[in-house]
Structure 1
Amino acid sequence: MWLLTPPGVYAPNADTRLLAAALRRERLPPSARVLDLGTGSGVLAVAAARHGAGHVTAVDVSARAVLTARCNGLLAGHRIRVLRGDLLAPVAGERFDLVLANPPYVPAPSARNPPRGSARTHDAGEDGRLLLDRLCAGVAAVLAPSGVLLLVHSGLSGTDDTLKLLADAGLRADVTHRAHVPLGPVTRSRAGWLRARGLLEPGRETEELVVIRAQRV
């Protein structure tokens, strides 16, 4: 699938492909409503439409990403509603059968909170959980009965923490997909800092990506 990915917009990567694989395994109900959080280029929103979703909404805080996702939806021949805003705020009060989320999750030494510019596509606080914790706490409110969250992030950001927070929110959560991939350019550039904090083992040049499936019960 050919997509526009201008500078400053998160381009599809290994985490995108892992989440797309998880999406393909989901059986969507008729006229399913799907939400794609942190849509970036809109690739997962388009994939959801191709997978049979009846209504697809995409959200991103970046104006450039919103414009890009709208363009890519049109180029792919799918009607996708793309909203600009902070995480779940633009869809407060709505309910979705499936929520896809690939939020920023890379631990960052910068004290700047929240990050600005292109750093918003990856930096997520010193523990990588700047958005993950908020998402885990709030996602149940936008899930329809039996609705599902598919969330991808790095093991460096605390897989067990995510599972616990989702369970605390009343969701049944499990890791369904794992992949070990080489450290990306951003993570590799701060490997020394990650090792000093105990987040990355000495000599390790890979990280584990996980997809967590959480269902409202």
Structure 2
Amino acid sequence: MNPLAPPGVYAPQEDTELLAGALSDEPLPPGAEVLDVGTGTGALALEAARRGLRVTAVDVSRSAVWAARLNARLAGLPLRIRHGNLFDPVRGETFDLILANPPYVPAPRGDRTPRGAARAWDAGGDGRLVVDRICREMPALLRPGGVLLLVQSALSDPDLTVGRLRVSGLKAAVTRRHRIAFGPVLRGRERWLRGRGLLSAAENEEELVVVRAELPV
């Protein structure tokens, strides 16, 4: 998974790999409809397309849309790529699988709208600015039996994500966990996170999780 990632576009990292592993476990028939929101370089969308799935990829960043189109062309894989904010470009459509690697890192100035590359990770003071929107809006885009796979940090309360998806009528659970060393973003706000009680004094790794939610048939 080595797509081109121009400056300002989120490059595939451990969270991408974790979500790709969850994608590989899903028994989807060829031709199933997949939506990848916040596609970035298109890495996950391309993984799905390699399985013969019909993939739509969306990103709010024009640079990311350009990068995903370039990577799809280089890979020789068909992707339908749209520029827009989360689900806005696909209103009224439904999918068999939705992939989401949204911003999920709590930000010290959570009242400010993230700009530039920070849009890929900053998600308000509690890290749930986009995750909560996905929980609210995503169920309307799933077909019966359809699945959401979402990756987020333990810092942004996966249990709350599971609870909100269940309230919406989905079967939801954390299905994968993986601990990683702090990256540059977390290192830069480590003191603030500890002060907020989001990291204990002993923690020196971040836990990533995949939340899987399924709309009953």
TM-score bin (small chain): over 0.9
- Assess if the C-alpha contact under 8 Å between 2:181 and 2:206 holds in 1: yes
Q: Offset at 1:112?
A: 4.4
What is the match of residue 12 of structure 1?
12
What is the match of residue 51 of structure 2?
51
Instruction: Name the amino acid aligned to 2:25.
Output: R
Runs of 4+ in 1 over 4 A off after TM superposition: none
Q: Offset at 1:25?
A: 0.5
1:152-198 alpha-carbon deviations (Å, 9 max, x no partner): 00000001110011001111001111001111110111011001111
The 3-state SS of whatever aligns with 2:98 is strand
The 3-state SS of whatever aligns with 1:163 is helix
Instruction: Name the amino acid aligned to 2:209.
Output: V
| Separation in structure 1 between the aligned mates of residue 146 and residue 105 of structure 2, nearest angstrom | 27
What is the match of residue 97 of structure 1?
96
Q: How is 1:147-166 mapped onto 2 (pairs within 5 angstroms)?
A: 147-166=146-165
What is the match of residue 176 of structure 2?
177
| Separation in structure 2 between the aligned mates of residue 68 and residue 112 of structure 1, nearest angstrom | 29
Instruction: Name the amino acid aligned to 1:75.
Output: L
1:7-49 alpha-carbon deviations (Å, 9 max, x no partner): 1000000000000000001111341000001000000000000
Question: Does 2:82 correspond to 1:86?
Answer: no
Q: How is 1:1-217 mapped onto 2 (pairs within 5 angstroms)?
A: 1-53=1-53, 55-217=54-216
1:94-118 alpha-carbon deviations (Å, 9 max, x no partner): 0000000000000001144321111
- Assess if the C-alpha contact under 8 Å between 1:24 and 1:51 holds in 2: no
The 3-state SS of whatever aligns with 1:139 is helix
Q: Offset at 1:78?
A: 0.7
In structure 2, list runs of 5 or more residues that go unmatched.
none
1:75-127 alpha-carbon deviations (Å, 9 max, x no partner): 11111011111111111100000000000000001144321111101100000
Instruction: Name the amino acid aligned to 1:74.
Output: R
Instruction: Name the amino acid aligned to 2:198.
Output: L
The percent identity for this pair of structures is 57
Give the total of aligned pairs.
Answer: 216
| Separation in structure 1 between the aligned mates of residue 56 and residue 173 of structure 2, nearest angstrom | 25
